[in-house]
Amino acid sequence: MIQVNGNYLKLKAGYLFPEIARRVTGFMEINPSADLIRLGIGDVTEPLPNACRQAMKLAIDEMGTVDGFRGYGPEQGYEWLRQKIAQNDFQARGCEISPEEIFISDGSKCDSSNILDILGDGNRIAVTDPVYPVYVDSNVMSGRTGELEEEGRYGGLTYLPISAANNFEPELPKEPVDLIYLCFPNNPTGAVATQEQLSKWVDYANKQEALILFDAAYEAFIQSEEIPHSIYEIDGARECAIEFRSFSKNAGFTGTRCAFSVIPKTLFGKSKDGKLVELWNLWNRRQSTKFNGVSYIIQRGAEAAYSSEGKSQIKKLVSFYMENSTLIKTSLIEAGLKVFGGDNAPYVWIKVPEGMDSWTFFDYLLQEANVVGTPGSGFGAAGEGYFRLSAFNSRENVQTAMNRIAAL
Ligand SMILES: *Cc1c(COP(=O)(O)O)cnc(C)c1O
């Protein structure tokens, strides 16, 4: 009989979202008329911006003409989209990133896991705890970790705890590491990293000859002027960092799919015999072999995110979610809870009340307020005692959820 990839068997069985679904289903069976409000999963809820939709419609009609029809596009993405990205997201912020260094993809989730394809097995890996589960699971699946150990941690990974105790600032690892996953603004904690904190990581990575995998999926939600939107705002980052960006959360492309990775041409790794290898070349080769690009229609939609209408519509979307976030935060503080995040990210990270753990608080909110959130422990051992509420919902639902929690 064929063999399966045994690494998959190391994965944690009772994964977070299925367990949430199980508990919610169980609750609904007993309370079929309950009006549940979901502030759990990190998916957007507002419609696609009009500018993006119009651009996609035009692109569909173009595809219906002989002259406008397009087959396979460049695996790296269309030049016109990469130019807009380089100009608007990077050069406008003083980051020296060229269109050639941008690779369009169908998601940051895929990019942040696929990147392991071009990196060796022997790299020592650091993740924050709590963490976006994709970084950990993709390392497990590709055989880069040991077995699942106590507290749901995997052998072989270096965990960097982030909690109120360190102000949600990961500390530099005590043992040397080669790959560091950082996500700012952070999912799940909603924390952001200052210029100073990011500089600390860039300096560390350059000194260690390590690589930072920087996930900036939530950069559009940054409200404070002084918080960097890109790792490349930090001197030296071109020598040590890959950045992942996505149209999912800012432009509502979670169902439409478009994202990109930035691989500066100044990034190198070593081959076994000690030769320097350009990471850009490997990623270009990887994408050209395993990927056939994102739909022309969708790339035109993403391009429209950079038009003046697109920018203002996205700004409105982000403001809408951030108003939800503020509403959640202020209501919970009034209700006597201790909360973090929510100022520069669409996530509010709640310290669960004394005497409860993350899952007890989950059940409590589900039963008493019919509100579904996400237990912090599902994102890692150091997330125990915390709970995530997301700002992705209608104003009415957020307001109702907060009224119910206030009444508890
Ligand atoms: C939502 C999210 C993304 C975006 O993923 P896509 O595949 O582009 O939709 C990336 N990173 C984090 C941490 C996220 O929460």
Q: H/E element holding 270?
A: strand 268-270
Looking at residue 16, its pLDDT comes to: 84
> From CA 112, how far away is CA 180, in angstroms rounded?
12
Give tens-digit pLDDT for 267-286. 999 999 999 999 999 999 99
Give tens-digit pLDDT for 309-327. 999 999 999 999 999 999 9
Closest ligand 1 atom to the C-alpha of 253?
9
Q: Which residue spans of the chain are classified as CATH 3.40.640.10?
A: 53-307
Please, what is the average pLDDT of the chain? 97
> From CA 380, how far away is CA 314, in angstroms rounded?
32
Name the closest-CA residue to atom 4, ligand 1.
Answer: 108
Closest ligand 1 atom to the C-alpha of 248?
9
Q: Which residue spans of the chain are classified as CATH 3.90.1150.10?
A: 13-47+309-407
Confidence band of 12 (pLDDT split at 50, 70, 90): confident
Give the SS3 label for residue 148: strand
Name the closest-CA residue to atom 11, ligand 1.
Answer: 217
Looking at residue 147, its pLDDT comes to: 95
Looking at residue 32, its pLDDT comes to: 96
Confidence band of 150 (pLDDT split at 50, 70, 90): confident
Confidence band of 103 (pLDDT split at 50, 70, 90): very high
Q: What CATH number should be reported for the domain whose range is 53-307?
A: 3.40.640.10
| Cα Dmax for the chain | 67
Give tens-digit pLDDT for 379-399. 999 999 999 999 999 999 999
- Does residue 174 contact residue 168 with C-beta atoms inside 8 Å? no
Q: What CATH number should be reported for the domain whose range is 13-47+309-407?
A: 3.90.1150.10
Q: Which of 43, 45, 105, 108 to mutate to test the pocket of ligand 1 (most atoms within 8 A of CB)?
A: 108
Q: Which of 43, 192, 249 to mutate to test the pocket of ligand 1 (most atoms within 8 A of CB)?
A: 249
Q: How far is the CA of 90 from the centre of ligand 1 (A)?
A: 19
Q: How far is the CA of 44 from the centre of ligand 1 (A)?
A: 11
Peptide bond just before 185 cis, omega within 30 deg: yes
Alpha helices in 167-307 (DSSP H): 195-208, 279-290, 296-303
Give the SS3 label for residue 340: strand
Ligand 1 pocket, residues with Cβ under 6 angstroms: 42, 107-109, 132, 183, 187, 215, 217, 246, 248-249, 254, 259
Contacts (Cβ under 8 Å, ≥6 apart) of 400 = 37
Closest ligand 1 atom to the C-alpha of 132?
13
Task: Find the mean pLDDT for residues 27-49.
Answer: 95
- Does residue 177 have a pLDDT over 80? yes
Q: How far is the CA of 368 from the centre of ligand 1 (A)?
A: 31
Looking at residue 387, its pLDDT comes to: 98
pLDDT more than 70, % of the chain: 100
Q: Which residues of 371-380 are buried (b: 16+ CB within 10 A; e: fewer)?
A: bbbbbbbbbb
pLDDT more than 90, % of the chain: 97
Task: Find the mean pLDDT for residues 73-99.
Answer: 98
Give tens-digit pLDDT for 180-219. 999 999 999 999 999 999 999 999 999 999 999 999 999 9
**What are 200's two structure tokens?**
């600390």
Looking at residue 17, its pLDDT comes to: 85
Looking at residue 298, its pLDDT comes to: 98
- Does residue 238 contact residue 96 with C-beta atoms inside 8 Å? yes
Looking at residue 14, its pLDDT comes to: 64
- Does residue 44 have a pLDDT over 80? yes
DSSP state of 212: E
Nearest alpha-carbon partner for 386 in 335, 333, 340: 340
Task: Find the mean pLDDT for residues 230-244.
Answer: 98
Looking at residue 48, its pLDDT comes to: 98
